[in-house]
Chains A and B, each alone.
Chain A
Amino acid sequence: MGQGEYLMLQNPKMRLSSQVDMDASSPSNEATIRVRGLFKHYGKIAAVRGMDLDVRRGELFGLIGPDGAGKTTAFNILGGVLEATAGVVRILGLPARDARNLTGYLTQQFSLYLDLSVDENLRYSAGLRLVPEDQLEARQRKYLNLMQLDQFRDRLAGRLSGGMKQKLALCCALIAEPQVLLLDEPTTGVDTVARREFWDILAGLTAQGITVVVATPDLDEAERCDRVALLYNGQIQQIGTPSALKANLGLGRLVIRTPTLLQAEQILVKALKPDSQLVDVATLGDRIEVLVKDAQKGEVQVRDLLTQAGVTCDRLQPEEPTLENVFITLLRRKGSVPQLIPFPRSGRGNQSTASSPIQGRSPQAVAIAAQNLNRVFGNFHAVNSLNLEIRYGEVYGLLGANGAGKTTAIKMLCGLLPISSGYISLAGETGNLRSAALRQRIGYMSQKFTLYDDLTILENLKFYSGVYGIPPRQQQAKISWVLAICGLEKQSHLMTGQLPGGWKQRVSFGASVMHEPEILFLDEPTSGVDVLARQQFWQLINDFARNGTAILVTTHYMTEAEQCNRMCFMVAGRKVTEGSASEIKAAQPGQLFELQPQHLQASYNRLRTQLDPWRVSIFGDRLHIVLDHPETERPKIEALLKQSNLPFSNLHTVPFSLEDAFIGEVQRAGGGSP
């Protein structure tokens, strides 16, 4: 206790001295964070085993890894909350515990008081960290302005959106003007638009010399870091800039578009042999992605394979591998990528029709149809004239920012919420969407945890197989399957409440498909789930779709959305775009440019004065700019940067990602989050 008080008195002085040598342009060789031989054991379990790490000042450093890799433990040690079992941790030359006043730490749970207002939360944090009273108001204004929260100062934290909450939490961490920010999965549950904004803010902070270490399950986000460490099994497996990691992978990525996806995939999967060029084959929505040892030789081999089998190939395009490729390849080498275990389907034999619902259905039949669907809450139009048509065997993505009406739409479509007006047809049923017979044919996984925490995993599964009336003969096989896909065969007696979020989500998914639904609704099934589990989820989703299930899914992750056959973007209750990922990207007006400025933050700020803020964003050391009329706008942009004395290099066009398309569509429709 006494030591803590002593430190608090000491710290303001230290902060002053460290601010003296703070100069954003001078590269500092001294590592802000230095970790050597870090170990942490919980009883017999080793969470961190021998971690070495140096993070430079002003670096945006990403920590990625699957669930249980030791990320949160590492953060707790860096944040001075947890004592290491062995090893050295120095932050600004101090032990982590003593550096707490120089560190801002955002834990995974929202660290806000939901019954206090924005201002009160800030004042509370400032009080805890002994922010001088005379500076409080100025800092409060500065950071709330930066986060664009200044008009919400009196609003209760509990009434902010997920993105705004995280921005406020960041404000609270920043109010003491820390040198180091530790952010443990700050963007989980935050929508795409708000996420991009959040990362722009982080980039801005590092430009001011603040060191940021951030964990994220989303590898698209990790691309925006200066450097990334891949954590697995308590150790750092790889570390470097995203481009270096991708280059080190030594593999090429081929994107294949063909009308006969399934056939092409089967041919390519057969060719996955150690002596072939092909390393990995994955179907993503409307295309196949193949990892090859050498881009050119691989392309030749793939072309040959497909031509031999008589499969026409619309386009075969070599592309740069992604961080996700790097990550999954690494984990595959470690042997920890979950295997696809076939679902024990009951439909083959002489079962009753209820247990083999999908057999014999025409694949073109419409599973879910909605016409002019509306839902009004008071004077709030949550869903506005929505039209949808989803066929059996199709994976359809419903994408949108928080509050765009996705969950309301799903709840109406599956009969949980009465509609205000419109027409719904669900599995051919148009009248009573609540009959037991219809629900038997539908699977639903809601956004929140759908399992009973106080039952064991096995009891939960038995319960769901019981309420769905699965015959006892099949029950065992199906429960074993769920346990197998989750890798929980030996832990089935564990209390569900003890499971990490990612595992819970997988068990819930299993529980909601055991009865082989014809139609499956998945409301953010992968929120908080790591990359590996996400990949497995999508394999399972695709497997069900191929067996004829119609699947409606919502997600915040655009890499996942790419796996949908078709999708639509919703903004403020309306559908603004619909189509396959390729169609939507192709339909984007204008072009996306990438450039490498010398003064990143200054260029970013300058460009944002001239363009809509959403058109400019920071990706690592590069800027992305969306221009609707490149012929006329590009020279203007170049002139602007030259005039402002902001040199840049390597201005070139890059293809739109789905995220770019999404943000563009949302912003043009006027639905950006506040």
Chain B
Amino acid sequence: MLNRRLLALLIKEATELLRNRQLVGFLTLSPVLSMVIFGFVLNSDVTHLRLSILDQNQVALSRELVDAFTANKVFLADRYTDSQPDLTRQVQQGQVDAGLMIPATFNRDLLGTGKAEIEVAIDGINAYSSGIAKGYVTQITTQFNLNLLQDNLPIGTELELPAQPEIKFRYNPGTKDSWFFVPGVIGTILTLSAILAAAVEAVREKDQGTLEQLLMTPVASTAILISKVVPISGLLTITLTMCLGVARLVFELPFRGNLLLLWIFSILYIQIGVGIGLAISTFSKNKLQTILVGIFLNIPIILLGGAVTSINSMPLLFRWVAQLNPLYHYLIIMRGILLKGVGLQVWWVNAIAMIAFATATLLVSAHRYRRQLS
């Protein structure tokens, strides 16, 4: 008897969910699509900065310096100019990202006194890219200097640099940004979809006024709760699997660890999201309220989860707060499995945290949801 009722409830919820084409699209296609877009767009490399060049010296040495700047992809010789005010104006108006000024005395000063000054003006509005650009400028000039010294030293004397660090990137040898961002985006999307979809689905019964009628039937409140959780979780699990597949194909994300474990913890994470969504629905009167609360809750979860940000560079307080964020722990597990191939022995603390979160949110939301039913 109980099983037939639960079955009727599950069929009804699944039919309603699948019939809502927009929601199904929102839960399946748009996550994959946004993951691909984010994977390509979110990029910490700084390249193709437009550079304006004012070479007042116009000799071989000065041209060599210009070449040193533009030889890589970092700076792009966007335009040449012949006056200092022009250069300043171009940077000021944002026509270029940086200006390089080589004074007319560059060649003479350098060869005569061994010292010359050049000037680089960088548009500092984008603090991030200008910071990187500054680093590049230092690197480029250092290399230029070294080359210059080597070329001009008497033959036989070797220039020895005191220390030459050799940096080796483990786990992400090409330092592909997408490998860092894509798991983050998958986590973000799962959070967003699970919370919003569960909240909207759960509040719908209240919204359309069918809740009362449902309560007058002999179904148990637990059955209603299960019927609200299962179809959404199922759909989101499919979404997750699709996302991982596409990430593998498009971004060649390495699947180094135990995929089954990843899958289990992803489903656990979906339960946390659905639990939070259910809880939101019990606080709201209608769909609109639910969506607004859901969105406002999502923003801190995502920003404090380390999906696209670096937790370690946050102020201490926020680093502590991040520990209370299930997404933070999920991402550590996901990146650990996908990129490092490490297992439970490494991230068991995060695993325990996630199990605790899942239990807590589901218990709280089940309690609230059932209380609302009676």
Q: Which of A434, A446, A459 contacts B12 (CB 8 A)?
A: A459
- Rounded to whole angstroms, the CA-CA distance of A446 and B212 in the bound complex is 8
Known A464-B217, A469-B218; contact A452-B212, beta-carbon cutoff 8 A: no
Contacts of B374 in A (CB 8 A): 434
Contacts of B12 in A (CB 8 A): 452, 455, 459, 463, 466
Report whether B215 and A467 are in contact in the complex, using a CB–CB cutoff of 8 Å. no
Residue of A nearest to B220 (CB): A436
- Rounded to whole angstroms, the CA-CA distance of A184 and B212 in the bound complex is 30
Report whether B4 and A459 are in contact in the complex, using a CB–CB cutoff of 8 Å. no
User: Which residues, 445 to 494 on A, are CB-close (under 8 Å) to B?
Assistant: 445-446, 448-455, 459, 462-469
- Rounded to whole angstroms, the CA-CA distance of A454 and B23 in the bound complex is 13
Report whether A459 and B15 are in contact in the complex, using a CB–CB cutoff of 8 Å. yes
Report whether B218 and A444 are in contact in the complex, using a CB–CB cutoff of 8 Å. no
Contacts of B16 in A (CB 8 A): 452, 454-455
- Rounded to whole angstroms, the CA-CA distance of A436 and B7 in the bound complex is 16
Known A434-B374, A466-B7, A467-B219; contact A454-B19, beta-carbon cutoff 8 A: yes
Report whether B216 and A463 are in contact in the complex, using a CB–CB cutoff of 8 Å. no
Interface of B is mostly: helix
Is A414 engaged at the interface, CB distance under 8 Å to the other chain?
yes
Report whether A439 and B218 are in contact in the complex, using a CB–CB cutoff of 8 Å. yes
Residue of A nearest to B12 (CB): A463
Q: Which of B1, B9, B208 contacts A453 (CB 8 A)?
A: B208
Is A442 engaged at the interface, CB distance under 8 Å to the other chain?
yes
- Rounded to whole angstroms, the CA-CA distance of A512 and B214 in the bound complex is 11
- Rounded to whole angstroms, the CA-CA distance of A674 and B245 in the bound complex is 66
Is A11 engaged at the interface, CB distance under 8 Å to the other chain?
no
Most buried by A among B1, B214, B217: B217
Known A439-B217, A469-B4; contact A450-B210, beta-carbon cutoff 8 A: yes
Q: What is the distance, in angstroms, from B96's C-beta to the closest C-beta of chain A? A: 50
Most buried by B among A446, A465, A466: A466
Contacts of B15 in A (CB 8 A): 455, 459
- Rounded to whole angstroms, the CA-CA distance of A414 and B212 in the bound complex is 11
User: Which residues, 213 to 268 on B, are CB-close (under 8 Å) to A?
Assistant: 213-220
Known A452-B208, A469-B5; contact A436-B215, beta-carbon cutoff 8 A: no
Q: What is the distance, in angstroms, from B142's C-beta to the closest C-beta of chain A? A: 66
Q: What is the distance, in angstroms, from B282's C-beta to the closest C-beta of chain A? A: 17
Contacts of A301 in B (CB 8 A): none
Is A9 engaged at the interface, CB distance under 8 Å to the other chain?
no
Contacts of A536 in B (CB 8 A): none
Report whether B8 and A436 are in contact in the complex, using a CB–CB cutoff of 8 Å. no
Is B43 engaged at the interface, CB distance under 8 Å to the other chain?
no
Is A416 engaged at the interface, CB distance under 8 Å to the other chain?
yes
- Rounded to whole angstroms, the CA-CA distance of A444 and B211 in the bound complex is 12
Contacts of B208 in A (CB 8 A): 449, 452-453
- Rounded to whole angstroms, the CA-CA distance of A440 and B220 in the bound complex is 12
Is B20 engaged at the interface, CB distance under 8 Å to the other chain?
yes
Is A437 engaged at the interface, CB distance under 8 Å to the other chain?
yes
Residue of B nearest to A472 (CB): B4
Report whether A414 and B216 are in contact in the complex, using a CB–CB cutoff of 8 Å. yes
Is B356 engaged at the interface, CB distance under 8 Å to the other chain?
no
Q: Which of B8, B20, B214, B220 contacts A466 (CB 8 A)?
A: B8
Q: List 23 A-B contacts (CB under 8 A).
A: A416-B215, A436-B219, A437-B218, A439-B216, A446-B213, A450-B209, A450-B212, A451-B210, A452-B210, A454-B16, A455-B12, A459-B15, A465-B8, A466-B8, A466-B9, A467-B5, A467-B9, A467-B214, A467-B217, A467-B218, A468-B218, A469-B5, A469-B218
Q: Which residues of B contact A (CB under 8 A)?
A: 1, 4-5, 7-9, 11-12, 15-16, 19-20, 208-210, 212-220, 374
